[in-house]
Structure formats: C-alpha cells, structure tokens
Amino acid sequence: AGIYTAEAFDAVMMIGEAAMHEDGANMAMHLKMVGVDYAGASGVHNFMDNGDVTGSGYDVCSFNHVPTYGDYFNCNHIWTATGGLAAATFMGATVKIGFLNDATGPIAVYAMGFVAASQIALGIANTIGWNSMVQFEIVYADSGCDGTTAGAAAQSLVDAGVVGVVGAACSGASIGANAVLSAAGIPQISYASTSPALSDATAYPDFFRVVPSDALQGQALSAVVKADMPADGTVGLVHMTNDYGAGLADSFTAAFTADSSTLCTTIGYEQTTTDFSSAVQAMVDNGCTSAVLVSYAADGAMILDEMSTQMWTGQVYGGDGIAEEGLAVDASASVDGVIATKPSSGAMGTVGYVFAGLCAQSADCAGGIYTAEAFDGVVVMALSAFAQMASPSATLSQVIMATGQGLEGASGTISFLANGDSPGAGYCVGDFTEDATTGDVAFTCNRSWDPVNGLA
C-alpha cells in the first residue's frame, strides 16, 4: 500500500552494488557505472550527467469505486515522452469466460442486449481484478436458440480454453450445450433458461441458473388468466413444442386444470413455424375468448399479426418470452393490451441501481430482456474463477455454489439451491401499452405473483 517502494529498493541495491566495487571507495564513479542500463524493480535506470534518470514514463492511475466490493486504484495507462499516453501492458493472468448468446434464431432481437450487459459485468470484474493481476476475457459463441447449434458452439468454447460458460438463453440451447460442457468438466450459468427439465442435476450436471424454473411461472400465468377472465370466458393455449415451450405449457395446463377448469383448445407448433393461420382458425372455431401464448418475440409477433388478419379480438396472455418491448419490433399488429409474466427482480439493492444506471446508457441493454440476469451470470462466474485461483483444490462448480449464496446481484439476491436452481422472487405481471399516435410501446409491471401471496 506504500508509494515509491520499488524505487527505494532500487536505490539501496544500486548503492550496495557500487560499494562492492572498491569496498566503498570512489562511490560517485561506481554509482555512475552501476547506473547504466541497470535493471531495477522500478524499471531500467540510466544516470545522466547531473545524476537524474531518464525514467520510463509515468503510470496514469485512477480510483475506482465498485459498490459492495470496494475501492480500487488501478494504473491502466502509461505516459512516456516518446509515446505519449497509451494503455499499460497487463502482465498478469487472463482468464477466459465463454458466453453463449442466442444471436440467431427467434430471440435474436435481444442478442445485443445480452452482449451489452455482459460487457458491463466484464468491466466491473476487470476493475476488481487488475491489481490482483487477473483480467477476464469473454469469448462469445452463437447457440442459435437450438440444442444442436449450441452443442457445436459449446465445443468451440471448450477448444478456446474457457474455464466456465455463461448461457445460453433458450432452454433447449442450454440443454444441448450442457452435454458438451459437463463432459469437459466446465460449469455453466444460464441467465434465461427456465425449463423445469433443467432442475434435474443428475441429467444436467454443473448447471446453474439465476432465473427460476417455469414450474412456478405456469402457476403465475394461470392465476392471472383466472383472475381476469369473465365467468363465461374460455382460454386456448398456443405453445412451442421445444424445451421451453413444452415445459411452460405443461406447467400452465397443470395449474389451470387443477380445479377441473378446461382449455378450449391446445395447439403446439414447431419453433421454426411461420404460418399460424390454422392455429388462429382453431381458436376461432373453438370459440376461445382469450389466448395464452408460450412463444418467443418473433413467433409471438407472427401470431398476433395472424389474429389481427382473422379479426380475432380476444385477450392475449403470454410468458416471459414476449414480456418486453421487443415484441413490438416484429409485430405489425398492435400489442396494446397484451398481458405477460416474467420473473421479478428482487428488492433492488446497490448493485441493481448501479447496473440499471449503466444499462440505461446503452439502447441495446435498456431495451433487452434478462439483461440483469446476464450481468449476474458473468459476475458470478468471474468472482468464482478468481476465488478458485486461491483454492485450486475445489472445483469451479463447488466455488460457484459457495459464491452464489446470499450474493447481491443486479436481478436480486442470488442463492443457488442444491440442484443449481434459483428460487426467484416471484413474477411480474405486466401490461403492454401502445400510443396510437406515436407508436411508442411500453411494458409495465402493474401486478405481481408469488407462491406465498398469490396475485397482487
């Protein structure tokens, strides 16, 4: 914590070396001799005629305050008379973290938001690690929101030498990636995969997530529909048949029919479907007055457009796959009045406020989904990798489990369960509003649901 310590060391060592030449005689002459290309702790020294040293430039340092972690004084730049101001050469260890981003496929509209959030986390992690001689690098790979594509992407990350992987977003992609990553002993933290299937730690080892399982979201969605639907109303279910869609659809159906209520129709479709005319026609033919969509933004928008084409005007509900303004990017029809659920952030703490402020400075981050969770995934992985360097006998998965206990994150307090799940903080129940004049769209959480208090 001192200053000029390396220089003090060099001064003593140079005097000592000069004294050894003639048992301390003619020190001025011998100091000049020693002071030619002397490789010291503070740099290479060359005495000029007046006794000065040319020096190796100046470190340019800054104080950095990282909320909840501490203050850091980092010398990230250097100034020299010949080169001016430049980035300092980092001499420590660089740790690679993989990031599975669904950059193509049905949620590609949100991909840049995930990247923006991960970069905010990277900046904070590297601020913390600089003086400890550790820096992190994120290696990105596209999972395509698809299990097969994600498996190949995961292998590319293994080959790149990552210590852990954050992602994927889509549940099927996380499942496909886990087969490769777990076999390589590389842990994985998903920021958006909610399929109940991923709660099976035996089938999906070394898998963690900072979002709750859809086993609860189905209950939340059912509670909203039952509270809003008139006595003579009926509801149909239109859902993807992939891991995410099937999991949430099953959860919703089980909760909705538990009291012998029935669905007017249930329609499953492949993730690659682009024609929804028959699905909407089935809603019309079965007299459905409302619909629950388990979809992503792109296909959800196509369904809304088809409903508009067929002039079906019932109430539309959805899950977290459509619960952000990005739904309106792909929809020609109005999204006004659509109601959707998504995991709630816990009570916002210091980290949450800091992230919100930084995220708001990026249009991609501000308009994204699960950005706080993507941030948290990178932070947990980086802190865990850093901690493991001091405890190499522990596996990274063991350190992740320990790190993720009561950790304040941007999305709330993170406390991993034994199977890697996060219990979550309930669900936001939000409404889409669209200004008919300007076309501006907003998604606002006006209600909430949790298993203790129900819908409020």
Q: How would you write the pLDDT of the chain (456 residues) with one tens digit per residue?
A: 799 999 999 999 999 999 999 999 999 999 999 999 999 999 899 999 999 987 778 999 999 999 888 999 999 999 988 899 999 999 999 999 999 999 999 899 899 999 999 999 999 999 999 999 999 999 999 999 999 999 999 999 999 999 999 999 999 999 999 999 999 999 999 999 999 999 999 999 999 999 999 999 999 999 999 999 999 999 999 999 999 999 999 999 999 999 999 999 999 999 999 999 999 999 999 999 999 999 999 999 999 999 999 999 999 999 999 998 888 887 888 899 999 999 998 788 999 999 999 999 999 999 899 999 999 999 999 999 999 999 999 999 999 999 999 999 999 999 999 999 999 899 999 999 999 889 899 999 999 999 989 999
Classify residue 65: in a domain, yes or no.
yes
Beta bridge partners of 70: 66
Question: Residue 210 phi/psi, 5° resolution?
Answer: -100, 20
Classify residue 189: in a domain, yes or no.
yes
Residues 201 and 167 in one domain: yes
pLDDT at 26: 95
**DSSP of 335-401:** -TT-EEEEEPP-S--HHHHHHHHHHHT-HHHHT-SSHHHHHHHHHHHHHHHHHHHH-TTS-HHHHHH
Classify residue 50: in a domain, yes or no.
no
Report how far residue 170's alpha carbon sits from residue 152's, in angstroms, rounded to the nearest whole number. Answer: 15
Residues 395 and 417 in one domain: yes
Residues 155 and 201 in one domain: yes
Going by C-alpha positions, the residue among 299, 300, 294, 301 that lies closest to residue 268 is 294
pLDDT at 333: 85
* Phi-psi category of residue 446: left, alpha or beta, with phi > 0 → left and psi -120 to 50 → alpha: alpha
pLDDT at 365: 97
Classify residue 11: in a domain, yes or no.
yes
Residues 323 and 447 in one domain: yes
Residues 206 and 238 in one domain: no
Residues 295 and 220 in one domain: yes
Classify residue 52: in a domain, yes or no.
no
Going by C-alpha positions, the residue among 158, 153, 185, 157 that lies closest to residue 172 is 153
Q: How many domains does the chain have?
A: 4
CA atoms within 13 A on the CB side of 406: 0
Classify residue 319: in a domain, yes or no.
yes
Residues 107 and 181 in one domain: yes
Q: Domain holding 281: CATH number?
A: 3.40.50.2300
C-beta separation of 308 from 335 below 8 A: no
SS3 (DSSP) at 116? helix
Residues 442 and 332 in one domain: yes
Question: Residue 313 is encoded by which pair of tokens?
Answer: 């005007």
What pTM does this model have?
0.83
Neighbours of 290 (CB within 10 A): 19
Classify residue 53: in a domain, yes or no.
no
pLDDT at 16: 97
Classify residue 51: in a domain, yes or no.
no
Residues 103 and 40 in one domain: no
Residues 319 and 369 in one domain: no
Domain that holds residue 143: 93-211+346-425
Going by C-alpha positions, the residue among 324, 315, 352, 328 that lies closest to residue 428 is 324
pLDDT at 346: 78
- Maximum Cα–Cα distance for the chain, whole Å? 108
pLDDT at 50: 93
Residues 180 and 312 in one domain: no
385-137-106 Cα angle (round to 5)? 100
Residues 241 and 194 in one domain: no
